[in-house]
Amino acid sequence: MLKIKSLVCAMCLVLPTASFAEEPINGQDFINLFEKLSGKQPGIRKGHAKGVCAVGTFTPNQAAKQYSISPLFNAPSKANIRFSMGGGNPHADETSRSPRGMGVQFVLENGDVHNIAGLTTPVFAGNSPEAFFGLLSTLVPDEKTGQIDFAKVKAYREQNPSTLGQFNWLQSHNPPASYVSSRYFGVHTFYMVDEKGAKHAFRWTMVPEEPEQVLTEEQMKTFPKSFLAKRLEQDLAKGKVHYRFQAELAEQGDVLTDPSVRWP
Q: End-to-end alpha-carbon separation of the chain, Å?
A: 34
* β-bridge partners, 243: 4, 208
Domain 2-17+26-125+176-249: state its class.
Answer: mainly beta
Q: What is the mean pLDDT of residues 142-166?
A: 96
Residue 48 annotated as catalytic: yes
Percent helix, strand, coil in the chain (nearest 5)?
25, 25, 50
What 15-24 contacts at long range (C-beta under 8 Å, 24+ apart), as own/partner pairs, is 15/188, 15/257, 16/124, 16/126, 16/127, 16/128, 16/129, 16/188, 16/257, 16/258, 16/259, 16/260, 17/127, 17/128, 17/257, 17/258, 18/128, 18/129, 18/130, 19/128, 19/130, 21/130, 24/129, 24/130
**Tens of pLDDT, residues 184-236:** 999 999 999 999 999 999 999 999 999 999 999 999 999 999 999 999 999 99
Q: What is the mean pLDDT of residues 170-196?
A: 97
**Tens of pLDDT, residues 243-256:** 999 999 999 999 99
Distance of CA 113 to the CA centre of its chain: 19
- Asked whether the beta carbons of 232 and 83 are under 8 A apart, the reply is yes
Question: Which residues have a Cβ under 8 Å from the Cβ of 17 and sit 6 or more positions away?
Answer: 127, 128, 257, 258
Q: What is the mean pLDDT of residues 37-60?
A: 95
pTM of the model: 0.88
Residue of 48, 114, 173, 188 marked active site: 48
Distance of CA 158 to the CA centre of its chain: 24
